[in-house]
Structure 1
């Protein structure tokens, strides 16, 4: 099975700057994919294929060839996903259109080397007939299994998202007990089994994180609105907002992970093989929305 792990890294200032430059260059690849696809559709009246978009982006950017291809694949996947959502009648679905300033860079297959001491060399490919020196980083808590892909991400600091093979084979499916699940806000998961067994996991922790985050963001936003946009104090408040969002996102991820872990453990104890969840899409259709009344 393929698993993923967040790995924190250390590197010299020069290599840190090169990593940031990689994400900026990946954003240029994404923006170029948008423009190439737009021009191709205007001329050919059809979508551009994977081979054609890779051909037009090959060798144009200061990245490893597989890193460029990975951005192209992500664009094509986003485009196809939007098409499928539109076909299903989802009105909020849109094709990729936003340009980016930073985008995650991915290295796959021969794009990196991992050493026993935690040293990782990220290849930058060949440019102008000369192989460029790789970006060297030092990582901790690397998985011991074979690493498949490495993706450079940013969340209040650079880190690596490492995909690896854990060596565990998936077990064959056997029909057993079934349960119904109803996700919610007050109770994150409510489950009921065929034999009468039930499970309720409260969502108070998640709601508390949401409320505290919104409260803090509101306070910072009121202070920031009194500053001139782009000033030194405005940038400080903006940095605080990004820190609050990053911290709350990690807290939410941890709370939801603990919730799903408790649910999976209960399912294993109950010998559950099938989990059924209702399709609640469109429940608000043809309902009257309550109008807001401004009161002084």
Structure 2
């Protein structure tokens, strides 16, 4: 199976400036695709195909052609996902928001990977100053700018060989750029084991509960719940204080920075607890030689919980907030891929 690993790109002023420029160029590609695809749908009542999008975007931006194609692929995948979601949720919107920065997707042809460095290919269609000064003295001076291949080199800090890496992305996270790449990891073969099934239940108080025929493991989720509730209260207090300040003032900016720090800190704490919780569950399943895990599906439990006298719903605003802050989706995703690495088959069933 494919897993995603990442490493932080060390800070260098010129390198970060180049990556920032590439991010803005990638955002231009995304914005143009969204604008033209939406306009085409309004005029023709049908969506423009991915092949046509890629053909229109060819040789237009200061990015590698494979990078531009990857952005078009991400848009097409996003559009297909929304189309499926709108079958049950009409509030799901197609991409429309203008982006100022966008992640840099990289296919295998758009990067050269060595042991020490990773070279990101790009192109430049601009003229140099000397060419601009002598351009009108030549024939066909008004032709399109020539293609000039360039590159950006970043250090390779991965702990594994990336020869088989076919896709990667450069993203901005926690005040730094990260190189995220997908690699294939072999799954364990449990065909020699006798079939043994375990049941799993996700909860708010008890994050995960798993049980076999003779043993069970219950892990508390109170720490994650406490962090989520504290974050909600602190963000509400900061938003209230920001509303009393003039937007853009020094005090308003201080509150905004504090809000960003709080969000990032709580996110890191929750991710650490999710990792530890799912790791303990998978270790228990591996020790019990479990081959199949069945998890109850609790997706959408927070929907339709507003107080309604006709339907006699009794959930108040506190309970609704607790359900919306419940991170059961992330726990299920981490538990699923970690179990698959150990060769355990994971299935979902309605509770």
**Band the TM-score falls in, shorter-chain normalisation:** 0.7 to 0.9
CA distance in structure 2 between the aligned counterparts of 1:252 and 1:263, rounded to whole angstroms: 17
| 1:75 and 2:94 correspond | no
1:186 maps to which of 195, 205, 218:
205
Q: CA deviation at 1:122?
A: 1.4
Corresponding residue of 1:85: 85
- Report the counterpart of residue 105 of structure 2 in structure 1: 106
| Structure 2 match to 1:19 | 19
Equivalent of residue 228 in structure 1, options 230, 239, 246: 246
1:114 CA displacement: 2.6
Which region of structure 1 is more displaced relative to structure 2, 159-168 or 240-249? 159-168
Partners of 1:11 and 1:138 within 8 A in 2: no
Output one character per residue of 1:73-103: Cα deviation in whole Å (capped at 9) or x when no partner.
111111111111222x234433222222221
From 154, 157, 173, give the equivalent of 2:175: 157
Partner secondary structure for residue 47 of structure 1 = coil
Any idea what SS the aligned residue of 2:101 has?
A: coil
Structure 2 CA distance for aligned equivalents of residues 63 and 116 of structure 1: 24
Pick which of 197-206 and 213-222 moved more.
Answer: 213-222
Question: How many equivalent pairs are there?
Answer: 289
Which residue pairs with 1:41 in the alignment? 41
Change (3 A) 1:143 1:157: farther
Distance 1:31 1:116, change over 3 A: same
Structure 2-normalised TM-score?
0.74
- Identify which of 313, 325, 350 aligns with 1:288: 313
Indicate if the aligned counterparts of 1:11 and 1:136 stay in contact, CA closer than 8 A: no
Residue of structure 2 in register with 1:177 after alignment: 196
Q: Root-mean-square deviation (CA), in Å?
A: 2.5
> What is the CA–CA distance in structure 2 between the aligned matches of 1:291 and 1:4, rounded to whole Å?
40
CA contact 1:120–1:137 (8 Å) conserved in 2: yes
Partner of 2:297: helix, strand, or coil? coil
Structure 1: segments with no counterpart, 5+ residues: none
Match in the other structure for 2:329: none
With normalisation by structure 1, the TM-score equals 0.86
Distance in 2, matches of 1:131 and 1:170, equals 47
What secondary structure is seen at the aligned counterpart in 1 of 2:61? coil
Residue range with higher mean Cα deviation, 205-214 or 47-56: 205-214
Q: Which residue of 2 aligns with 1:272?
A: 290
Contact 2:171–2:180 at 8 Å: present in 1 too? no
Shift in alpha-carbon separation, 1:111–1:192, aligned structure 2, 3 A: same
**Residue 136 (structure 2) aligns with:** none
Can you list the C-alpha shifts for 1:201-235, whole angstroms capped at 9, x where unaligned?
11122123213323432343333223211223322
Q: How far off is 1:242 after superposition?
A: 1.5
1:69/1:139 CA distance change after superposition, 3 Å: same
1:245 aligns with 2:263: yes
Could you list the runs of 4 or more consecutive aligned residues of structure 1 that deviate by over 6 angstroms after TM superposition?
none
Larger radius of gyration between Structure 1 and Structure 2: 2
| Residues 145 and 167, structure 1, Cα contact 8 Å, conserved in 2 | no
> Deviations along 1:118-145, whole A, 9 cap, x unmatched?
x222111353333343112234344334
Structure 2: distance between partners of 1:48 and 1:142:
41
Instruction: Provide the secondary structure at the position in 2 that maps to 1:136.
Output: strand
Q: Would the alpha carbon gap of residues 267 and 215 (structure 1) be closer, same or farther in structure 2, given more than 3 Å must change?
A: same
Distance in 2 of aligned mates of 1:20 and 1:279 = 41
